[in-house]
Structure 1
Amino acid sequence: MPFRYPHKQTMALVKQDMNHWGIIDHEYTYFMKEKRRIFSDYNAKALSDHPFFKILQHDDPQVAASINDAITEFRDFVVSHYSARYPHLFIKSKDTFYNLPMNETYDLKTMHPLEVVTRISMEDHYIVLPLEQGHTCVAVTVAFGGGGFPIAPVVGQVLDTIHTNVPYYESHLKKSMNKWFTKFTDPVERAAWHIVWDRDLACSEIYTKSREIGHDLQDYVKTIPYDEFLVRIDKQGLIKLEKSKAVIFNNHPVYLSLDKEIRYEPGAPSIILKVMYESPEDIIKHRHFESFRDYLKPYLEEMIQEQVKNEVIKIDDKVKTLPNYPFAYWMNDLSNWSKESGWTRPSA
C-alpha cells in the first residue's frame, strides 16, 4: 500500500529487489495488446511520429552516439534480465528473442532496441542521460502515462524543467533530487497514486474531463457509481546502467477497487479520506481531490465504520502511515519466502 500520512511531497524512495523489477503478472497479455494498439501495430512510420515513443535527435554526433549506446545497453539489459528472471516465458538464442506469452519473435539485429524493450516489458520507460546541461531525458516509450502530463515534450528536457509542474518541487525536491541522481547506484522504487473511475491505461478520464468541462467535473463525478472508483497506483522504479550511466525510470500502473479491495485494507480508507482533505493545497489541486472528495466522503466513512465494527481498526486509532508501509509486514521475514513458491502470506 503506497498510502502515507502526513502526506508530504518527498521522493519517498525505498530499495528495490531486482527480482521485483520488470513485473510479469496476470495482465501481461492485456497490457501488451494495449501497447500494440496504442503503437499502431508497431508500424515503423507510426512509431517514428508517435508522441509516446520518441528519441532525442541531437546535432552533436558524439551525444547522438551516446544516446544510441544507452538505448542499446538498456535493450541488452532487458533481454538478459527477462530471459534469466522468467526462463519459461522468454528465451534468447543468439540474435533472436522469443516472447512466448505473446507468441512473438524479435530479430535483435534488425529491430530497433527501444522497440524490443517496448514489446518485452509491461512497463513504460524514460531514459535519462547525464549530459552537459544536466540529467536529460533522451528517450521515452510510454504507452500508459495516464494522461496527467504530455509525454513528447519531456524528451530533451532536463529534470528541473520536467518537474516544473510538480507541486513543491522547487522548494522541497529540487536540491535533493539533483544531488541524488548524481550519486545513486542501487535500484530504488516508489509509488504514486490517484483516484480514477476507469481503467484507461493511456489517459484516465479524469484528465480528459477536467480539460473538457473544468469546474463541471464535480457534477459529472456524481453520475459515477461508487463501486466504479479505483485507486490507480503507479509503481515506479529507478536503475542506473553500468556503462552509459543512463538512469532508467519505469512506471507500471496497478488498479485497486475502492469497493472490492481498499475497503478491506486496514486503515487505507481512513488515510485516503484524510489525504484528500488535509494534504498541502497544491497537492490537492494537482490530484483533483476537490472534484470528488465531497462525493466520496460518505462512501469512505461507511468503509471506516465497517472496519471499526469488524475490529479491523479502532475508532480512536490515529490516522498515520501504516507500520507495513510500503510493503506488507510479512515480506520482511525471509522465512516466508522460498525459491519454489516466492512470498507466502502467513495465516492469521
Structure 2
Amino acid sequence: MNVFQSPELRYGNVLYEYALSLREISLMVDENPLCINDYFHFPVINFLVSDRDSTALCRTHYLEALSYGDPGSLLACPGPSLSGLMMRTLANPDQINHFYFLLKEKKYRTFFALTEPLKGSDASHIQTQLKKIDENTWSLNGEKSFFGNGAVAEMGIVLAKISDNSLGIRAVLITDELLLQKNISREILPMYALRGAQIACMSFNNTIIPDENILGSHLSACKNSLYSIISVFNQLRTGVGALALGLAQAVFDFVYHLKSSHFFTYASFFHECDAQLSLCRGLLQEAAKRVDLDHADGALASLSKANATAVAENIVERCIALCSVDELMANPWIQKALRDVYCWEFMEGTTHIQKLQSRFTMTGLR
C-alpha cells in the first residue's frame, strides 16, 4: 500500500515549482541571506510581493507549499508578511496602495516590530513610545528585538503606545526614507538556525515620524486598538503552523523515498507519520476558515499552530533517526531541516502562550 502523495498533487504544479526554486538556493541563503537579492527574478518573488488580498486559508496553503521548498529562503524573500496584514486592517486606501506599490515595484523586504527586550511580545505592555510634537509630526522612542529582517528590510511596521491603555497602541509605518535617519540603529543578531529570517533588533531615539505614517487615524478608537492588532495575529497564526508543516512534510517525503525499497519494514511508521501530517493540515485549514469568517476567533488558530509545531518536531526527529550517517552527510538540506524545525516554537508565540491565548478567547479570562 502506497501512502505517498506527490507534492505536485498536494500543492499544485505552480506552487511546487516555486518550492523547488527556493530549495535550489536554500544552502546559499543559509550561508548568506542577502544573496536572495540575486534571485529577485524568480517567479516566486513576484508571487509573494503581489499578495495583497489573500485569505488566511489561502496563505495557509501556499506557505506550507513554499516551506516545503525551504522556509529559510522563503523568509529571506521580499513580501508583505505580517506588515501587509496590518496595513490591510488599519491603513487607509492611499497608505495601502503606496505600501503595495513599493513592495511590488522595488521588491522590498518588510519587518514587523512588536517584541521588546524587557516586555517580550506582550503588546499591551510595550514601552516604545510615540509622542506628538506638533500637528504634523511625532517622535518615536524605544527598542525592539527578535523580529525578522529588521536590519535589512526597506519598510515595516513598528508598534508603539501613545497612552497606557488598550486603546493607546498605534501601528507606525516605517518607510525607506525614515530608515535613513541617523537616530535609528539596526543590527542582525547571531543565528544558528533558520538564518534566512535574519532576526534583528532596532532602536529609535527621537525619530521623527510624519503624521501620515501613523496608521488607523481614520478609524474609531475601538477599531484602531489592541483588538485589531490581535485580530491580525489570528490571521497569520495558521500560516506559521503551515511553515512548520511544510518543512516536516518535506523531510517525510525525503525519507519515504530513501527507504521505499524497504517499505514493508517501515510501513506502520510511514502510515502513522502520514496520518499525523494529514490531521495537522486539516486542523490548520479548519482554523484558517474560522479566522476568515471572524478575525477575532483565534482559539483554534492558536491551538493549531501549537499542534503543528509539536507534529513537525516529532516527524522530523523520527524520520531523521531512520537515516544513516552517510545518508545525512550526502544530504545537507536534511541536516539543516533538523536544525530549523525547532524555531517554529518561538515564532508568533510559544505553545504556552498559544494555550493561554486560546483559553482567553474561549472564556474571556486571563
Q: Give the TM-score of the pair, scaled to structure 2.
A: 0.24
Structure scoring higher RCO (CA < 8 A, sep ≥ 6) equals 1
The structure in which a higher percent of residues are helix is 2
The structure in which a higher percent of residues are strand is 1
